[in-house]
Structure 1
Amino acid sequence: MLKFSKKLLYAIEAVTDIAYNSTGEPVQIREVTSRQGVPQRYLEQVMQRLVRAGILKGVRGPRGGYLLGRERARISVGDIARVVMDVAESSEAGLPPDAATGPIGRVVIRPLWGEFQEKILLMMDTVSIEELTTRAFRGGVPSESCDRITYSI
């Protein structure tokens, strides 16, 4: 079963932070960790996995950092979950090794667990990073990108 671990929650929070605070320039990981209170060394591993999956783009150099790998509306919470949690296609994903080992467990419970996992991921697929940034804006969360917007005529 899909676990809602700290790693998953931090990854969703980091991608949302990058989307919400990006001004077109890369967002540095230290900025994300400072705003969100996430340990940097913990988040670095997660960010690299998200880069490899194309959810984020890594930019090297002194002004480097992370950008979204595609549009906010095209990144779902389910996409992030699949990368971060290494969600297996197996119905046994996330079950303890000694769980549901009897005949009913093997034939009924383990497959049921797989169905639950699939339904949760499908629900997560319906929530985009765009929606999360909209929720942040409506909730009054301060944004670096809003602070840097200039209006000229």
Structure 2
Amino acid sequence: MITHKTKYALKALMVLADERAGEGEALRIEEIAERSGAPKRFLEHILLDLKRAGLIGSRRGRKGGYEMIKEPKRVSLAEVLRLIDGPMAPLPCLSRRAYQRCEDCKDEQTCRVRAVFGGFYATYILMIESLTLADLMEDSRPLETFGLPERAAGE
């Protein structure tokens, strides 16, 4: 599952990318919060992380605020997930960027837990690495894309 923080980051990025495609003005944090539905107090930290990563920029002054500086089609969803939540691997021994040998593992080559989760993770990582912010913005029916049924409220 993705965290609320990542969800807010993605929603904020969609708002900024939409503004980039439209009027192209910088948006104040209050405007981003209102349009994205993300709490302002969370956005302050999230936007700083996104800015440090070079996804968004900021302007000072009367017409200041945040703006998208990287093209949405060049922002991988995996990049945002890693930036906000850290490594995505279900086990530390599967992570490419934060690899650590599992303390209780005697042999990674024969570890059944690693094998099963490694197969799942490989499929997941291929999919998430190929999706971009532009895909997220364009696809109004993402569940259908992946053959997943929509859930009724409360399920």
Q: RCO (CA 8 Å, sep 6+): is it higher in 1 or 2? A: 1
Aligned residues, how many? 129
- The 2-side partners of 1:129 and 1:9 are apart by 12
Which residue does the alignment assign to 2:139?
A: 135
Matched, 1:91 2:110: no
Whether the 8 Å contact between 2:81 and 2:88 is mirrored in structure 1 is no
- Which residue pairs with 1:44 in the alignment? 44
Residue 103 of structure 1 deviates from its aligned partner by 5.7
Q: Which residue of 2 aligns with 1:14?
A: 12
Structure 1 runs (4+) deviating above 4 angstroms are 99-106
Residue by residue over 1:69-103, the C-alpha shift from the partner in whole angstroms, topping out at 9 and shown as x without a partner, is 3111111211111111121673377xxxxx99476
Shift of 1:125: 2.1
TM-superposed CA distance for 1:104, in Å, is 8.6
Which residues of 2 match residues 46-125 of structure 1 at below 5 A? 46-87=46-87, 90-91=92-93, 101=104, 107-110=111-114, 112-113=116-117, 116-125=120-129
- CA displacement at 1:124 relative to structure 2: 1.7
SS of the equivalent of 1:57 reads: strand
Partner Cα distance (1:72, 1:57) in 2: 14
Query: Over aligned residue pairs, what C-alpha RMSD do you find?
Result: 3.0
Amino acid at match of 1:17: V
Question: For the Cα contact (< 8 Å) 1:55–1:68, is it kept in 2?
Answer: yes
Q: Alpha carbons of 1:27 and 1:111: their partners in 2 closer, same or farther (altered >3 Å)? A: farther
TM-aligned CA deviation for residue 47 of structure 1: 1.3
1:144 maps to: none
Please give the alpha-carbon distance, in whole angstroms, between the structure 1 residues aligned to 2:51 and 2:115. Answer: 32
TM-score when normalising by structure 2: 0.67
Q: Does the 8 Å contact 1:18/1:27 carry over to 2? A: yes
**Cα distance in 2 between the residues matched to 1:128 and 1:117:** 18
- Identical positions, percent: 26
Letter in 2 for 1:107: C
Unaligned runs of 5+ in 2: 96-101, 141-155
1:33 — aligned with what? 33
Equivalent-residue separation in structure 2 for 1:12 and 1:120 (angstroms): 18
